[in-house]
Amino acid sequence: MASESGTLYTGMTNDLARRNYEHKNNLVEGFSKKYKCHKLIYFEETNNVEEAIKREKQIKNWSRKKKESLIQTKNPTWRDLSDDF
């Protein structure tokens, strides 16, 4: 998720559409609500919970530059991917 100002939020969920709705409507207390991270700009899918947690932690530890590079690979315009839901 990203804010209009470019703040990035990384998280994981078992229901992307629901979680996206929660973020867009400020139903999630914490970082994403504080910084208005309402735009889904990147996601990965897996059925393995342990792998999802591992990947989330990995990405959270990356530099901003590395995160931006990852986003660019699949969403170079940083459009809101939830528009396709």
Which sign, positive or negative, has the C-alpha torsion 27, 84, 39, 31?
positive
Question: 28: how many CB neighbours lie within 10 A of its CB?
Answer: 16
Q: How many domains does the chain have?
A: 1
Give domain status of residue 78, yes or no.
yes
Can you give the pLDDT at residue 85?
Answer: 83
pLDDT at 28 exceeding the cut of 90: no
Question: What pTM does this model have?
Answer: 0.91
Can you give the pLDDT at residue 24?
Answer: 95
Give domain status of residue 71, yes or no.
yes
Give domain status of residue 7, yes or no.
no
Can you give the pLDDT at residue 72?
Answer: 97
Give domain status of residue 4, yes or no.
no
Domain ranges, residue 34: 16-84
Give domain status of residue 1, yes or no.
no
Give domain status of residue 9, yes or no.
no
61-73 pLDDT, tens digit per residue, is 999 999 999 999 9
Read off the pLDDT band of 31 (50, 70, 90): very high
